[in-house]
Structures are given as C-alpha cells and as structure tokens.
Amino acid sequence: MSHVASVVVQCILSGAVFTSLCAAIVIPPLAWLGVRILGPAIVAMHDDRPRQASAAAFAAAMPGALFLILVSFGLAIGPTSPCLEMPAGKVLYALLLGLLLFAFARAATRAIVRRRELATLLGGALPAQGRAAAVARAVGVTLYELPDDRRCLVFVANAPHLAVYISSFALHHFDEGELTAALHHERAHIDRNDHSIASWLSFLTDLVPFPVGDIVDIYRFSREFCADENAIAHVDRTALASALLCVARGGALHAPMGALAFAERNAIHGRLDALLRPECGISENRWRRTYVTGALALMFALGVATPMLGEFFFACTTSRLIG
C-alpha cells in the first residue's frame, strides 16, 4: 500500500498525473468546482436569456466534455507515462482504465434507455391530418399526432423523424391561434438545434455524475424563454400565453429526457409574465455577461491545455535532471 502511495506522490510531483489518464480523473472535478462558483452569476443572467441558455449548457457540459477530451489524450499519451515504468503504476493505470470504461458504459446505457422510452412514447404517432396539418405546413414544421387523450404534450423529437409531436388532448383543446403559436415555439427549438443540445447534454452529464442538475434546469428554462421570443415575432403574444395556460390546465407532464416539453411547469409563471408584461423587461448587465463568458472559456482552455503543459513541464524537468 505504501508503495502505491509512493507512486502516486511521484506522479503528482513530476507533473505526470496531468499527462496520462489520471488527468481525466483530476481535471473534470476542478472544472466542476469552477462551474459551481460561477453558478450564481449564470442564474443572474435572466436579463439575457439567449446567452444564459448558452452559458448554462456550456457550464453543465464542461466536466463531461473535458472528460472526453482528456480520455482521448490519455489513451494516446498515457502509455508513455513514467508512472507505467513501475508495477504499482501499471496497476493504477489499469484501475483508471476500468473506471473510465465503466463511466462510458453507464452513460451509453442511460442514453439507450432514454431512446427506448422516447420510442415507446412515439410508437403510435401518426402524421397530423386536417386543420393541424394545414397549420403545420404554414408554420413550416412536420407534425405528428400522439394518441393521448390524458396529457397535453407538445415537443420536438428526432426519433424516428425530426418533427413536432402533439397529443390528441392538445389538438382538441387548442384553437387555431394557440396551435399556431405553439408550433412557432417548437419551430424555434428546431432552428436553435435544441433537440441535439439536449441529447448531448444528457450524455455528457451522465459521463461524470457531478451534481449540475440546477444548471441544466437553467438551460431548459432559458431555452423556453428564447423560443417564446422567436415565436412572438410571428404570432400575437396573447395567443402564445393562452396556449401556455391551456397546457397548464391540461396537467402537462415532462416529456422524456432529451425531448423538449412545450411547457416546463416550473417556468410557466415567468414566461406568462414576460409575455403579458413585456414593458417590465430587465436591462442588460453586459459586465456579468462578459465575466461569465470569459470565465467559462478560460476554464475550458486551461482544462484542455493542462495535459500539454504538463507534458512540456515534465520533459523540461527530466532533461534538467539528466543534464
């Protein structure tokens, strides 16, 4: 045990811990700590919803994204690490590799489960007909109807087709103006590529299971405000507010993870307030936006560059010792 501890200490002191698979274990938690520190500033960005959505998605995904990058770097550079020259170092390397494989298997399994849940929900979907199909063509989206008379669901999914899926309940209770407003809202999600972002965000947050659910929620809520802003460029804001109220009365449930529910229940009140009292908008805080953007970019850049800097540092240290 003391020999293993000695190997770990040597790897840390030499900088080799940052040039092998160890980096994938060390750096993502540090990035997560930085994200938690920035959390309050991201929450306060409600004066700039588009950038808040981008910052929250980037922050939540950063530990997982760095994990992917560092694993790739570690697999390429790790076998040459001086830690592997010692038997204990080889044991540690094997343990790290096993841990990384477990993380990937866990994230992949959860992604498959979400995909199957979504496929089950969409299994009975049929192309919309009549009035709904005409409205969808006018808005410019593909619309499928789900045979569900209990829930008011409207969301975008990419399985098996990238389309808007709406429940029979919603179709029966929306008037034409509300349906048009809801579909423009969902088209905004498609134009923003939110369906892909949601899928990758789920996968990356599963890779490194640090608690970032509150930051993911900020992204989910902010994207709804952004889609509302895009929608009211085409429809009356009261029609969209009416559609939201209809969804709330219908007891909308969250769509499966990775799908985009038209009404995130926790955000409905704020969205209604923004739609019905637009004159109460908050002035933009550009300093906060710059601070958050710069801090996130710096953390990511340092996370990516650390293995290369560590490799350079170790090479310089080794050459001095040999000399």
| 162 & 272 share domain | yes
Would you say 307 and 70 are in contact if contact means Cβ atoms under 8 Å apart? yes
Give the E-state strand segments of the chain in sequence order.
Answer: 126-127, 143-146, 154-158, 162-167, 260-261
Same-domain status, 30 and 77: yes
On whether both 250 and 314 belong to a single domain, the answer is no
219 contacts 60 by C-beta, under 8 angstroms = yes
Structural domain boundaries enclosing 96: 2-118+284-322
Q: What total number of domains does the chain contain?
A: 2
Position 260 scores a pLDDT of: 55
Sign of CA dihedral 79, 82, 85, 91: negative
Residues 57 and 146 in one domain: no
Q: Cα(212)–Cα(264) distance, rounded to whole angstroms?
A: 18
Q: By percentage, how much of the chain surpasses pLDDT 90?
A: 16
The mean pLDDT value for 125-129 works out to 87
Q: pLDDT value at position 59?
A: 93
Terminal-to-terminal C-alpha distance of the chain = 33
* Residue of 170, 166, 180, 260 lying closest to 221 (CA atoms): 260
60 and 212 Cβ atoms separated by less than 8 Å: yes
Same-domain check for residues 292 and 269: no
Once rounded to an integer, what is the mean pLDDT over residues 152-177? 85
What is the spatial distance between Cα 235 and Cα 279, in angstroms, rounded to a whole number?
18
Same domain, 169 and 253: yes
64: which 2 tokens?
Answer: 């997982």
CA separation, residue 9 to residues 79, 88, 314 (Å): 19, 12, 14
pLDDT at 254: 47
pLDDT band at 312 (very low <50, low <70, confident <90, very high): low
Asked if residue 191 and residue 95 are part of one domain, the reply reads no
150 and 241 housed in the same domain: yes
> Average pLDDT, whole number, for the chain?
79
Question: Which among 126, 279, 278, 169 is positioned nearest to 178, based on CA atoms?
Answer: 169
pLDDT at 170: 86
% of the chain at pLDDT higher than 70: 75
- Is the CB of residue 293 less than 8 Å from the CB of residue 55? yes
pLDDT at 321 over 80: no
pLDDT at site 280: 58
Residue 49 banded pLDDT, cuts 50, 70, 90 = confident
Tokens of 317: 């240290």
What is the DSSP-derived secondary structure letter of residue 1?
A: -
Q: How far apart are CA 176 and CA 297, in angstroms?
A: 44
CA angle 146, 118, 111 (to 5 degrees): 170
HSE (CB half, 13 Å, CA atoms) of 263? 26
Query: Would you call 127 helix, strand, or coil by DSSP?
Result: strand
* 243 shares a domain with 112: no
Tell whether 134 and 268 lie within a shared domain: yes
**pLDDT at 2 (0 to 100):** 54
Q: Say if strands 143-146 and 162-167 run parallel, antiparallel, or are unpaired.
A: parallel
Same domain, 73 and 148: no
Residues 173 and 244 in one domain: yes
